[in-house]
Amino acid sequence: MDYSEIKSTSLSTVALVGNPNSGKSSLFNILSGLNQRVGNFPGVTVERKLAKLHLGDRDLNLIDLPGVNSLYPKSEDERITSDVLSQAGNLDHPNRVLVLTDATQLRRGIAFCMQVMDMGFPTTLVVNMIDLLEAENMKLDTAKLSGHLGIPVFEISVLKNRGIAELKQHLTHDPPPPSAPFLQIPPAFRAMLEEVGQFLPQANDFQRYRRLLLNSSDEHIPPMDLERIRQLGKLTPKVRQQLINNELLVRLDRADEILEDVLMAPPTPAKRRTEQVDRLFTHPVWGYVIFVGILLLIFQSIFAWAEYPMSWIEMGMGAIKDGVVALMPESWLRDLLVDGIITGIEGIVIFVPQIAFLFFFISILEDSGYMARAVYIMDRIMRPFGFSGRSVIPLMGGMACAIPSIMMTRSISSPKERLITILVTPLISCSARIPVYTLLIALFIAPSQEYAFFDARGLVMTGLYFLGFFMALMVAWVFKHVLKYESRGVFVMELPAYRMPQWKNIGLTVGQKSWSFIAEAGKIIFAVSIILWVLVRFGPAEEKEQIQSTYQALIDQAPADQVDSLQYAQQSALHNASFAAVLGKTIEPVIRPLGYDWKIGISLITSFAAREVFVSTMSIIYQQDDPAEAEDEDTGRLRLVQRLQKEKHPETGKPIYSLATVLSLLIFYAFAMQCVSTLAVTRKEAGWKWALIMVTYLSALAYFAAWGTHALVSFWIG
């Protein structure tokens, strides 16, 4: 759905802003329930969450803005929040703002709230996690705080579902705008602000002052005006920075004065549980053991546990196919429906369990506060390769999908570090590689092999993940030197207190991510499946007719018991004469050194759009029913594995899927780009140049690594 349809301009818009880790997305979820739309902010890939709320007899829009600590942005996603609040012409510009803060971090929450108020918005302060404050025997006088700030203040706990009803009730009437600004702008600026006003007539004094200190561009102000504003103050970057620091300092001091009056703390603070938990999670040995253990658990879930829902989906889709076959007369339309469309949909839906598991774990790690500890213990390891610990999150997210991970890099403030992270993220094995790995690994490891608790296939898979991660570090190291990147940026990160994740919140996230996968990646997979069906089913007409007539003659003369197998051979021959085969045979000379035949060649071509298409291509290529297998009750994937294992080279008679070839394919898919969506998102985030560099280096790396693997393994085992 288009964004403009959802947001009707007649409705009042409430923006939800707040410090990172203040529980903003949980509050958004509890206020909006399932009634939300997720999209992107125009021109960028930062997630935009919008909901239409029906409260009493009133409808309003609620928009969730990226978490920030001030309105002086340092990274791309912080800029979104700052832009939406400052640009009166912005599509998302709110009529009023809810500032959310963590009750245990009131000082910075109040300071930020004052900044939002100085922008002139009717503001409500929402103090979340009030239960944590009470657990430490502290008491907040909300009424007094409200008096000091001159705005409504609510204390809530999203986790304990406290104060939500009152907050909803409050949203039904609009509060008045704040009366006077908190920040006393130095009188020396008076004349200058008047002049800025020529360019920003609607803006109040603080907005003008802020514009003066900001370095960033603004698409709502003509560049010429912006340049004139910049020249007005003749403020050097250093002076601007110091003025910003002074402003924040003044606000913190004011927040302290207020807190002195409104917050009652016991003389000796209670010992935080977080410290005890930290002792384990950041332990020199156990810290890393737990980190690797968590990764293993995630892979185990994707590999072993997701198997059950996946087989249900297969069974369901199989039943639908059988139904269609039984109901419709044989025709090309039925073929298209069964082998093209339904197979295509199956190829999309089948991933949902794995993606859901992945996002389930990633959201738990984020919500619980563990992710920050992973950054903390990994920072030193990542640094020589041009990363900070911050890149660990996008890289770990890359295990789910490179696309959201590349978007996540917007929180990295150094442009070069961000670029390096984007360039290597596709090397991290994503969930779309899982079906490819699954199929290929099954070709050489029987399902029953286990070592200790772990499935042998899961171990190989883990190995492939580590290989991808290792390669990502190596390539990052190379780019670090090519780009001459020397990290000079400041690295300061909050380690939030550990919290119990909220299952409802996680459920919503998992649902959203799975759905957006179906909607986004699904489109490509679906389109490719149909194109592929056409390529496989049709071929150069002459050749087809010739095969048809040759076999027809043979079948007519053959004894009755040979008709079945002759018909099968005919279908195989027809297959070899399809457009897909022509295409595959054209590239065969290039891929022969890797140990691939033209059938694999077709899969390589089709899976360029999306690597997971490899599996569906293989099943379409090998779809014709061998009468010898007709009695087989196994699921489709197992049948495919058996069929591939039987596949022999037409000249040498050796199996096509030898160990060397399968390993070579695994390596190829571990490194190759094979994802149009990643290419698209990289172009959006870093430009065409880097998108092309990315696809080139990844293809070259995949080709030569696969070639080397095939050569080495063939040499080894003869």
Partner 1 sequence: MVSVPTFIPRVITNDQNLKGLAHGQKGVITHIEGDEIQLALLELGIKAGDEMTHMGTAPLGDPISIMVNRTQICIRKRDAENIWITVK
Q: Which of residues 66-85 bind partner 1 (CB under 8 A)?
A: 69-70, 72
Q: Are 128 and 23 in contact (CB under 8 A)?
A: yes
Nearer to partner 1, 260 or 633 (CB): 260
3-state secondary structure 288-343: HHHHHHHHHHHHHHHHHHCHHHHHHHHHHHHHHHHHHHHHCCCCHHHHHHHHHHHH
Residue 369 gets the label, from left (phi > 0), alpha (psi -120 to 50) or beta, of left
In degrees rounded to 5, what are phi and psi of residue 154? Answer: -120, 140
Burial (CB < 10 A; 0-12, 13-18, 19+), residue 11, is middle
Told to check if 55 binds partner 1 by CB under 8 A, we report no
For residue 60, the surrounding DSSP H or E stretch is strand 58-64
Told to check if 377 binds partner 1 by CB under 8 A, we report yes
Q: How far is CA 421 from the centre of its chain?
A: 14
Nearer to partner 1, 132 or 337 (CB): 132
Task: Pick one of 284, 329, 650, 718: the residue that binds partner 1 (CB under 8 A).
Answer: 284
Place of tokens 């609040």: 85
Query: In whole angstroms, how close is the CB of 340 to partner 1 at the nearest point?
Result: 53
**Separation CA 58–CA 32 (nearest Å):** 14
**Separation CA 211–CA 227 (nearest Å):** 11
Nearer to partner 1, 69 or 674 (CB): 69
Half-sphere exposure of 702 (CA within 13 A, CB side): 20
Told to check if 191 binds partner 1 by CB under 8 A, we report no
Told to check if 294 binds partner 1 by CB under 8 A, we report no
The stretch near partner 1 (CB under 8 A) out of 249-257, 451-459, 548-556, 650-658 is 249-257
Told to check if 131 binds partner 1 by CB under 8 A, we report no
Task: Pick one of 287, 344, 397, 601: the residue that binds partner 1 (CB under 8 A).
Answer: 287
In degrees rounded to 5, what are phi and psi of residue 668? Answer: -60, -50
Task: Pick one of 381, 534, 590, 700: the residue that binds partner 1 (CB under 8 A).
Answer: 381
Told to check if 248 binds partner 1 by CB under 8 A, we report yes
Q: How many residues bind partner 1 (CB under 8 A)?
A: 52
Told to check if 254 binds partner 1 by CB under 8 A, we report no
Query: In whole angstroms, how close is the CB of 263 to partner 1 at the nearest point?
Result: 11
The encoded tokens of residue 97 equal: 């703002």
Q: Is the dihedral of CA 181, 183, 187, 191 positive or negative?
A: negative
Told to check if 213 binds partner 1 by CB under 8 A, we report no
Q: Which of residues 461-520 bind partner 1 (CB under 8 A)?
A: 489-497
* Bridge pairing between strands 123-128 and 96-102: parallel
Told to check if 379 binds partner 1 by CB under 8 A, we report yes
**Separation CA 635–CA 645 (nearest Å):** 16
Told to check if 414 binds partner 1 by CB under 8 A, we report no
Told to check if 244 binds partner 1 by CB under 8 A, we report yes
Query: In whole angstroms, how close is the CB of 281 to partner 1 at the nearest point?
Result: 11
* Bridge pairing between strands 123-128 and 153-155: parallel
Told to check if 611 binds partner 1 by CB under 8 A, we report no
**Separation CA 362–CA 356 (nearest Å):** 10
The stretch near partner 1 (CB under 8 A) out of 276-284, 428-436, 546-554, 577-585 is 276-284
The stretch near partner 1 (CB under 8 A) out of 269-277, 442-450, 463-471, 562-570 is 269-277
**Separation CA 549–CA 570 (nearest Å):** 10
Binding site for partner 1 (CB under 8 A): 69-70, 72, 104-105, 107-108, 111, 186, 188-189, 233-235, 238-239, 241-246, 248-249, 252, 255, 269, 274-275, 278, 282-285, 287-288, 375-377, 379-381, 389, 489-497
